[in-house]
Structure formats: C-alpha cells, structure tokens
Structure 1
C-alpha cells in the first residue's frame, strides 16, 4: 500500500475524504450554508493515525475553500479549530463572528 495521501471533496457526502492506496483513511464532515462552510467532525481510521492524514485533510479542505473565494470557515470541529490555531496563514478564512470549538 502506498503512503501517498490523496484528498478529495465528496460533496454528495458533504465531506472531504482522504485515501491511502485507495482505502478511505479519514474524512472531515462539513455543512454548507449561504457563504459559510462549517466543519463539524473529522475522523481518521485508527490504522492510519500518525501518518498525517488529518493534517492533509485540513490543508486540502482549507486550500479548496480559499480557491473558491466565496466561503468563510466556521471551525466547529475541534481538530480543524486546533489545526487553524497552528497555521495562522489560514486564519483569514475563519468567519470572525463565530467562535472556534476551543472557545465554546
């Protein structure tokens, strides 16, 4: 099995999915409403923990949001909120009138 992580948006399931060697390794569930995307839950299969799957999902999802240019992020998911705290170059995507999961 390859250690290459591929991440794709699966809009029909409202989530970004990460795969390693074609196997689903993790996902980040989201909700779209108006001009915002709310990340509500991120999960990595235990057999893929520690391989950077969660970070790959977060980076890809937020890069995708940035490329769209019409959405702001509400980080309700504790993992996405913590990832954003560690990557200040993505803070401009965060909806300023919403608190992160850490502060709730």
Structure 2
C-alpha cells in the first residue's frame, strides 16, 4: 500500500491517505506564528500497528521543518515520537523531557 501525507490547512490537520484516497489517520494542529502546535493524532483502528501513525508524524514534522517552523507537541503520540527520534528535537519550542 502506498500512502500520502497532506497538510489540509483549512481543517488544521495533516492527513495520511491510501492509494484510493481513504483517510487512514490525522494529526490535528493549531498554528501560531512560526509554531505548529500538535494537539491530537488518530489512526483508523484497523490500521494500528502498521506504522501509519509514525509515517504520518514523520512526514508532518518534515513538512514543518521544510517550512522553517517549529513545533509544540501537546499530543502524546507526537511527543513520544520526538522523544524516540532525537533528530526532531531541534524543532521543539520547549524541549521534550
């Protein structure tokens, strides 16, 4: 299965979809100047355990980095992902841990 992560700015969320355009998960956020505040991440329960959430968060964080912004990981899943992947810690406004 091929997936695609898209920033759906008008809904303030990143979505991960499959080949058919089915939404498999979302990472919701709020924007402040220069900061993306991740508030909630959810993956379709049928897709859990297949790396969908990790792919979603990784690509969302890469998009934030490419835009020259930083993050505030209020969402526990995003916070845990950053803790497990130190290469993203420099994006955190208030460092995790």
The TM-score normalised by the length of structure 1 is 0.87
Identify the match of residue 15 of structure 2 among 7, 17, 20.
17
Aligned length: 96
Q: Would you say 1:60 and 2:59 are equivalent positions? A: yes
Q: Write out per-residue CA displacement over residues 58-81 of structure 1, whole angstroms, 9 at most, x where no aligned residue.
A: 111100011111x21000000000
Greater C-alpha radius of gyration: 1
Consecutive unaligned residues in structure 2, runs of 5 or more: none
User: In structure 2, what is the Cα distance between the partners aligned to 1:5 and 1:14?
Assistant: 19
Q: Would you say 1:89 and 2:87 are equivalent positions? A: yes
Q: Would you say 1:33 and 2:40 are equivalent positions? A: no
Consecutive unaligned residues in structure 1, runs of 5 or more: none
